[in-house]
Structures are given as structure tokens and as C-alpha cells.
Amino acid sequence: MAKRSDMPQLFPPGYQTTGEPFTGNYEIMWSIYIRCNNVQKLHKVHIPALEALIGQPHGGKGWTVEKDEDSDPNLKRIIALQRLAGPYDDRFLLDFMKTLYRLAPFWRIQARLDPSHPHGAYVMARFSQDAPGSEPPAVVDVQVELMANFTDAMGGESGRYLGSGQRIS
């Protein structure tokens, strides 16, 4: 596990950190690459297979499909933001870990699990496989982050954007 000072953390511009424990809401950011040859098949076959394993982290709004012209045309990136009402409790972590392990057995995990930390608890999980096969959902690469939602404290929307510049909502 990385030292507390080494943990990456995203803050909205102008957010003032304090020494007080973070007590606000949390969110889970999903970024998943799926091997699929077209978007229609992605929506009709692969995403339902993925949701059968992990549920609907996007709250029914639908996954955002990111277009990446520079990569393999058969890789489709889907993104979702799942909002969790805070403050943090261990149920967040237990539900998060159960969801991850339904999807894949091996993860690289980095975590700060001290809820009294001024930046809140933080978990980043990464999974990738070289040969995912063709069975839906054919997941190639996943990065998932459970983190404090500082944008709520500032009265704004999520400050994270897709590679295309589109806001994740």
C-alpha cells in the first residue's frame, strides 16, 4: 500500500483542503474497455453481460461510450459515475470489493482506508488481461476508483471529463 502522501487525488479547481476529516458524499468512477467490433453489439450484448456481473453502476442512465480513434477499433471504452451518499462507512468498501470480484478474480489495488483523513477514503482498482476471449462482456481493461466527491462540497457537478472533453455526469 502506498504512503498516504503518495496517493493520487483529484480535486476541483479552487478546492481548499483542511485538516478536518472529509464527511461528504462519495462516488465510484468506472472506466472499462470491452473488445467488440461495433457499438450496436456493445449495447445489445456486451453491456447487458457486464451488468449481469456488476449491476448498473450508472443508476440506469446508461453508460457513456468514449470514442478513441487512436486505439484498436475493436476496443470500446465505456464510462459511468456512481454516486454514493456519505459519509463513508465500511459497507461502501465491502459492496465495492464484492462487485469487483464478480467481474474478475485478480486486481491491482491501491487504497487509503482511513475515513478520518481530510481527503476521505480512496481505493483504485486496476484489472487487465491480454487475451479476454470473445465471450461477452469480453473485458480487456478496467480501472475503477472509489473516492470522496469534492464537487458536491463546492455545489458543482462532477469535474471529470472523458478524453473527448465531454463531462461525465
pLDDT digits (tens, 9 = 90+) for 20-56: 888 889 999 999 999 988 889 999 999 999 999 998 8
Paired residues of 80 in beta bridges: 30
Q: In what order do the strands lie in the sheet with 122-128?
A: 64-66, 75-84, 26-35, 139-148, 122-128, 108-112
| Residue whose entry in the numeric block shows the C-alpha cell 470489493 | 97
User: What is the distance of C-alpha 82 from the center of its chain?
Assistant: 8
pLDDT band at 14 (very low <50, low <70, confident <90, very high): low
- What are the φ/ψ torsions at residue 137 (nearest 5 degrees)? -90, 5
Amino acid at 61: K
Q: What is the mean pLDDT of the chain?
A: 81
Whole-Å CA distances, 2 to 5, 15, 112, 117: 8, 24, 8, 15
Q: What is the pLDDT of residues 127-143, one digit of tens each?
A: 998 877 778 999 999 99
Q: What is the pLDDT of residues 62-101, one digit of tens each?
A: 898 887 667 788 889 999 988 899 889 899 999 999 999 9
Exposed / middle / buried, residue 12 (Cβ in 10 Å: 0-12, 13-18, 19+): middle
User: Pick the residue with more confidence: 8 or 33?
Assistant: 33
- Structural domain spans, the chain: 22-153
Instruction: Please report the pLDDT score of residue 128 as a whole number.
Output: 93
